[in-house]
Structure 1
Amino acid sequence: MEPFRTHTGRVLPLRRSNVDTDQLIPVRFLKRLTRTGYSDGLFAVWRTDPDFVLNHEAYQGASILVAGSEFGTGSSREHAVWALLDHGFKVVLSPRFADIFRGNSLKNGLLTIELAQDVIEQLWQRAEERPQEPISVDLEALEVRAGDLTVPFELNPFHRKRLLEGLDEVDATLQHAATIAAYESGRPAWLPTALPV
């Protein structure tokens, strides 16, 4: 994963709540064996409507998705996160995320931040009135900045550290390889051991 410190980008205002993973990427797009190539399936059903916000020229290249509450509900498919990343989104802001979706996002380098509904509505309005205006998400300062609006946010320190350092869970575990090896070397021979592949 790439380290995430600060991202500045334009906003896609998705004024929808209860967006589930089937809406994010329908099941027919889940045939790949890789983590890339899912962009075409992102919001595939909704994108057939020319008026869907992702189809608007003004929002092409937006990298920060601002959505309504209960984003990412439904099945636990990691493909939903991969599709968002593959399309170019780096951050999703919402009042509330489904737990499994949020966990999958943070494990894959997609920063998901919960903000109050009134802040989400301000960001929607700003993006609709000034679609070219960028906003900044600062993981080091734990702030979202849009013009004169600065909003603090919280993130679990473990997830924050991993994202700042660009570590997935395996990389974070391997930082303790020497301690793990020392522990394993002192275990009785009759107990199971973890051997390198």
Structure 2
Amino acid sequence: MKGWREHKGLATALNLENVDTDQLIPARFMSTPRGEGYGSFLLHDMRFSAEGDADPDFPINRYPDVSILVGRRNFGSGSSREAAVYALADFGIRAVIAPSFGDIFASNSVNNGLLPALVSQAHSQELLNILGTGTVELAINIETRTISVDTKSIPFKLSEAWSQKLINGWDDIDLTQQHRPAITAYRARRAKTLPWIIPKVENVE
């Protein structure tokens, strides 16, 4: 996964509360190999009629080049399906801005290079007002935890661990590896004080 610090891109509003993972990608599409791409499945049942006709007024149908979504509270609630994040990433979404997220969705997002930018309810509404039904270019900086639009700078929350994962393109194992010296030292101390807990490795001829 490639890391990133800053992103400038078009944003549009998904002015809905409680957008869950089954809406982000309906379960019937999840048997598709990831290599074929999940972008066309993103919000499928909102974007298309039962006959497969695209709704021209749906935000990402109207603006297919957006890379940032601004939503309302409880974005990504529901099941733990990581495919919901795949659908966003494969569509080209780099960040979702909202006042609250489903916990597992937010974790899955970071592990796939997608930023879940947590803003206040007031700042979410301010961005939604700025966007209206159109698009605006936003600049996002992970290091400073800011979203810039025109002369405004809006703060967002992100843990230091998640910030490091996004900036460096790390997964959980990569993050753990940064503590290897401390882990090695701890193991050495335990081996001296409690030698029986360290498994012996036997050579098998």
Task: Settle same-fold status: TM greater than 0.5.
Answer: yes
Compared with structure 1, are the counterparts of its residues 55 and 130 closer, same or farther at alpha carbon in structure 2 (3 Å cutoff)? closer
Q: Distance in 2 between matches of 1:118 and 1:32?
A: 39
Kept in 2, the 8 Å contact 1:21–1:77? The answer is yes
Identity in percent: 38
How many residues are matched? 191
CA positional deviation for 1:154: 2.0
Q: Cα RMSD over matched residues?
A: 2.3
TM-score by length of 2: 0.83
Aligned pairs for 1:78-157 (under 5 A) are 78-128=82-132, 131=135, 133-157=136-160
Kept in 2, the 8 Å contact 1:35–1:79? The answer is no
Which AA in structure 1 matches 2:124?
I
Q: Distance in 1 between matches of 2:120 and 2:168?
A: 27
Q: Distance in 2 between matches of 1:42 and 1:124?
A: 21
1:65-118 Cα distance to aligned partner (Å, 9 max, x none): 101111011100000011101110010000111111111111221110111223
Compared with structure 1, are the counterparts of its residues 193 and 184 closer, same or farther at alpha carbon in structure 2 (3 Å cutoff)? farther
Q: Distance in 2 between matches of 1:88 and 1:36?
A: 14
> Residue 9 of structure 1 aligns with which residue?
9
TM-score by length of 1: 0.86
Q: Distance in 2 between matches of 1:27 and 1:71?
A: 17
Compared with structure 1, are the counterparts of its residues 93 and 167 closer, same or farther at alpha carbon in structure 2 (3 Å cutoff)? same
Q: Which has the larger radius of gyration?
A: 2
Match of 1:66 among 70, 87, 91: 70
CA positional deviation for 1:179: 5.3
Which AA in structure 2 matches 1:78?
E
Structure 1 window deviating more from structure 2 (177-186 vs 79-88): it is 177-186
Q: Distance in 1 between matches of 2:39 and 2:200?
A: 41
Compared with structure 1, are the counterparts of its residues 55 and 70 closer, same or farther at alpha carbon in structure 2 (3 Å cutoff)? same
SS across alignment from 1:45: helix
Kept in 2, the 8 Å contact 1:19–1:71? The answer is yes
Q: Distance in 1 between matches of 2:77 and 2:152?
A: 29
